[in-house]
């Protein structure tokens, strides 16, 4: 067993699993226009979709984007060519007035081949051809093979196939949510448990309790492993067979231990004291390099922040998942990496660097704060919702607009879970 004191970045888990990035579809952004209509541009500023037929649009996800007919206020979907592939004949699904405090898949965005809309007043799922599923039920979330749904009582969910065949009876648990890799986190009065998409209960082989809800907290499955907190307060890491691969003691006062929270594996790795560990908490490399201090315990886009000096006057840099100092500690401020690039600041202003620490360019704009800097996508970033720059820091000319969204990949699953429907 790995015997190390746990030092993590504390936060709740999203249920989405590892944050390993993908680049599917084309990079695009939506521009805001003063008149009715929608418009999307590519990274060169060319308008690739421009339509006055619709009043507004959402974000692309899995290659499709919800649009709203300004006359009928109905919902349809376009593809990246701007073609209406699902007619505007659906209604808006339920708002938070019906359900509050429940994690659910966001409305009108495709996820695992389906999107949640409403038809004849009832929430339903539609596939990419507009065919409806789960009529008469209330879909909360789905993975393309099964769905968490409710009937009359939102606090009595069940698990069904995409055709509505019952797998886990309604009310067996008072809440359910996907936790990655075909597994589902379930909640009851006695605790938290884990089931698979066939309803089979998973309990670690070292737990003697007969209950199918033996845990206080359950993390996400990442690369085949999950971290759970026992009723005693101790922690375990197990695989999908229930085999325990690590045991950790109960939180005893160090503010950089689990402290009752759930560990986050943004890129399949996490920092524990001076080690980089995978989701099984096996040590991969030392972290940070000798003489440096950890500024972040989570990796984002394969990079984590370190610093020299003090927290009041740090010199910041980045290490990679091999524990190598990839970006020297030269900067007073940094932004996390995204799509291979990051903003960093020194006495001369904001610069753009790659993962080898090479300076690709410098912003020629004044009055830029870190809160104005967007994420990178395909070597583009938006500054202050209006200005687009490339990796050299040069301004990319865009059509006249009142604002522009961040660039993102249209083919990615850009949906998310939210705390309300």
Instruction: Measure the CA–CA gap between 311 and 361, rounded to whole angstroms.
Output: 27
Structure tokens given for 9: 């970045």
Instruction: Measure the CA–CA gap between 232 and 224, rounded to whole angstroms.
Output: 24
pLDDT in 10s for each residue of the chain, 421 residues: 333 333 333 223 333 444 455 789 999 999 987 677 899 999 999 999 999 999 899 999 999 999 998 876 899 999 999 999 999 999 998 754 344 446 889 899 999 999 999 998 899 999 999 999 999 999 999 999 999 999 887 788 999 999 999 999 999 998 999 999 999 999 999 899 999 999 999 999 988 667 889 999 999 999 999 999 999 888 899 999 999 999 988 876 554 455 667 788 888 998 887 889 999 999 999 888 888 888 888 899 999 999 999 888 999 999 999 999 999 999 999 999 999 999 999 999 999 999 999 999 999 888 899 999 999 999 999 999 899 999 999 999 999 888 999 999 999 999 998 865 4
How many Cα atoms are found within 13 Å in the side-chain-facing hemisphere of 45? Answer: 13
Residue carrying structure tokens 């790995």: 2
What are the sequence ranges of the domains in the chain? 1-17+179-286, 303-400
For the beta carbon of residue 85, count every other beta carbon within 10 angstroms: 14
pTM of the predicted structure, to 2 decimals: 0.90
Asked if the 1-17+179-286 domain carries CATH number 2.40.128, the reply is: yes
> What CA–CA distances, in Å, run from 11 to 219, 234, 256, 261, 412?
11, 18, 12, 6, 24
Contacts of 101 (CB under 8 A, 6+ apart): 419, 420
Instruction: Measure the CA–CA gap between 157 and 192, rounded to whole angstroms.
Output: 15
Instruction: Measure the CA–CA gap between 334 and 328, rounded to whole angstroms.
Output: 12
């Amino acid at each position: 067993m790995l015997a190390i004191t746990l030092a993590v970045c504390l936060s709740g888990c999203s249920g989405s699993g590892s944050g390993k990035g993908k680049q599917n579809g084309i990079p695009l952004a939506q521009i805001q226009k003063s008149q009715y209509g929608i418009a999307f541009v590519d990274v060169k500023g060319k308008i690739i979709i421009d339509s006055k037929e619709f009043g507004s649009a959402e974000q692309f996800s899995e290659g499709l984007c919800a649009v709203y007919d300004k006359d009928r206020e109905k919902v349809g979907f376009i593809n990246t060519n701007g073609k209406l592939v699902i007619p505007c004949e659906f209604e808006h699904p339920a708002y938070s007035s019906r359900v509050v405090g429940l994690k659910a898949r966001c409305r009108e965005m495709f996820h695992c081949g389906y999107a949640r809309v409403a038809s004849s007043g009832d929430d339903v799922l539609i596939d990419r051809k507009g065919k409806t599923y789960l009529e008469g039920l209330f879909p909360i979330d789905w993975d393309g093979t099964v769905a968490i749904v409710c009937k009359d009582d939102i606090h009595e969910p069940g698990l069904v196939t995409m055709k509505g065949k019952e797998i886990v009876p309604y009310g067996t648990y008072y809440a359910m949510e996907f936790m990655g890799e075909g597994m589902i986190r379930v909640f009851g009065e006695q605790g938290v448990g884990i089931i698979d998409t066939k309803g089979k209960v998973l309990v670690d082989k070292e737990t003697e309790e007969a209950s199918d809800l033996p845990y206080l907290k359950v993390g996400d499955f990442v690369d085949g492993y999950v971290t759970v907190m026992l009723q005693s307060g101790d922690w375990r890491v197990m695989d999908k067979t229930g085999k325990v691969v690590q045991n950790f003691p109960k939180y005893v006062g160090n503010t950089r231990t689990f402290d009752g929270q759930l560990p986050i594996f943004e890129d399949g790795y996490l920092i524990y004291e001076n080690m980089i560990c995978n989701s099984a908490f096996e040590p991969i490399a030392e972290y940070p390099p000798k003489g440096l201090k950890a500024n972040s315990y989570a990796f984002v886009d394969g990079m984590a922040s370190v610093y020299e000096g003090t927290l009041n006057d740090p010199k910041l840099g980045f290490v990679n998942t091999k524990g190598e100092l990839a970006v020297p500690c030269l900067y007073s401020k940094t932004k996390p990496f995204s799509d291979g690039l990051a903003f960093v600041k020194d006495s001369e202003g904001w610069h753009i660097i790659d993962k080898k620490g090479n300076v690709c360019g410098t912003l020629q704009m004044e009055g830029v704060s870190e809160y104005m800097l967007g994420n990178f996508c395909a070597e583009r970033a938006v500054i202050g919702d209006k200005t687009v720059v490339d990796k050299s820091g040069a301004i990319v000319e865009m059509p006249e607009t009142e604002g522009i969204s961040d660039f993102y990949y249209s083919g990615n699953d850009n949906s998310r879970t939210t705390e309300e429907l």
